[in-house]
Structure 1
Amino acid sequence: MMNRGNEITSDMDPAFLLAWHVEMGADEAIGFDPVDRFTAPSAPEIRMPAAPRPAAADGAPRTVADIVAPTVPVAGPRVIEARPVQSVIGAGPAEAVRVAASCNNLEELRAAIEAFDGGTLKRGAKCTVFADGVPGAPLMVVGEAPGADEDREGRPFVGASGQFLDRMLAAAGLSRQSNVYISNVVPWRPLGNRTPDPAVIAMCLPFLMRHIELAKPQALLLVGKVPTGALFGSDDGITRLRGKMRDITAGGLTLPAMPTYHPAFLLRQPAQKGQAWRDLLTIRERLTL
């Protein structure tokens, strides 16, 4: 399992291990019983008769060892008893709606997400990445999902794209230390940093909506296609959606949301930074600081 560095551990979830092996290129199962080959000998030991003993003198009593040559027992692989397989998908959207609705504050929501069955997605991550910044801040930034740096530190947007986001916010007079709150649609890092699939987004969306309702920001900045599509209910690309502010409703809270490019995209396409800067300034005008 990859949730402790690069080592595979004995307490891993079997379903996640299967998904990991498929990701690594395994496409065929050999044998029916799971075998712990780490405890098997490097090569099978061969049963060899003991060296012949000298013939007994005439009239001397013969022992069993003189008649039966002892053999060396063969040590084989240790068979592992299979454990019940946990859900691959997780508890699902309906349970997420129920759990999210039962939370009355951000700390309860954090604890509920950490205890939630997120399927192989959650079991493949090191930790739950909940949020960073100032709860109740006027601007809430919503990203896609944690990357490797975020999964390691347990905070959103701390890698190269997060540092670029901080510089953008600072240029607009904003920061996560004073007036910005940051979270993601998905709180667990997807295997291989892949884009979360629709089933994962549907399961995590009730937590995000409750998160927005409890954090009570004045406005949202949606960075990238995943948060924009999840909250706008659109399959359009971010190029078509960015810059078009809409109101969204989270529980009893209605607030403006501005889609823009993800900082990671801007690092690859610096020519688009001007458009993202205009998006940030537009939503900045809606804030009361």
Structure 2
Amino acid sequence: PEAAVRVGVVASGEADLASNLPPNLVSELPDTVRVESLEYPGLPYSLYLNEAYGVFADERVRQAFALGIDVDAAVEEIYFGQFPRAWSILGSTTPGYEPATEGTWAYDPEAAETLLDEAGWTERDGEGYRTKNGERLSVRWIAWTPVPDDRAALGNAIQSDLREVGVEVIREVLEPGAYNEQYGPKTFDLTDWGFSGVDADLLRSHLHTDGFQNASQVSDPAIDSLLEEAASTADVERRNELYRELQRWNTEYTAIVPLYSPALITAVNDSITGLSFDLYGRPLFYDVTVD
């Protein structure tokens, strides 16, 4: 049944549990229903800035782009407090997550303005966008159709925030064939996705020079070496430290801008005890009893 129906039958007591609920319906549940919102492991929903194509070749522009987005406000409003804002290129439930990344790039439009000035984008055109040598500071964001309403709203918020610091964001929602025509040769400024998985080795496909999902086009022998060592070592603590180092590196380098971590939301009536969840937040019923 549709999500609204599932919420309704749990709220009325006709059902004891419903899972995979959207954030906007959680407020309709009564206090007798427990809500479990469990973050997926893996890579949060993020923006991938293509450093080999246009203005994102300048690290200052990448940093300004990230600092110019009020991620906290947008995620809180759109996801009703059910999905956590992401700070790192790994979700917080992923082995090797680096908690020291939290708070490292809070919304700071003044700092964004300063960085863009330093990068030479000091003039403004008639629409208020920054320019340099007569060229507008504009980035093109390609997205794979269909775009869910929540992510469309998030995209609108990002466009609005960045306009305030003088950056034009043009979003193109493309059919798969048209998307791949641009993704293959990397003729775009940024794109977006999230990727679930319990192994931090997911970063290798996204940041290694030869990674098939390296939309940011990072090509750094030092980063390749970290990723290769992490994939090959049997020392778990060493492996996790390598992934923590990669996450700290991204907070300054800004190849990827993490936005939020999707979560699996489950509503459970108070008559249920013994419920547990797997690593992806899916309910496990082995020890469940119903009072």
TM-score of Structure 1 vs Structure 2, range by shorter chain: under 0.3
The structure with more strand, counted as a fraction of residues: 2
Q: TM-score, normalised by structure 1?
A: 0.26
Higher relative contact order (CA 8 A, sep 6+): 2
Larger Rg: 1
Q: TM-score, normalised by structure 2?
A: 0.26
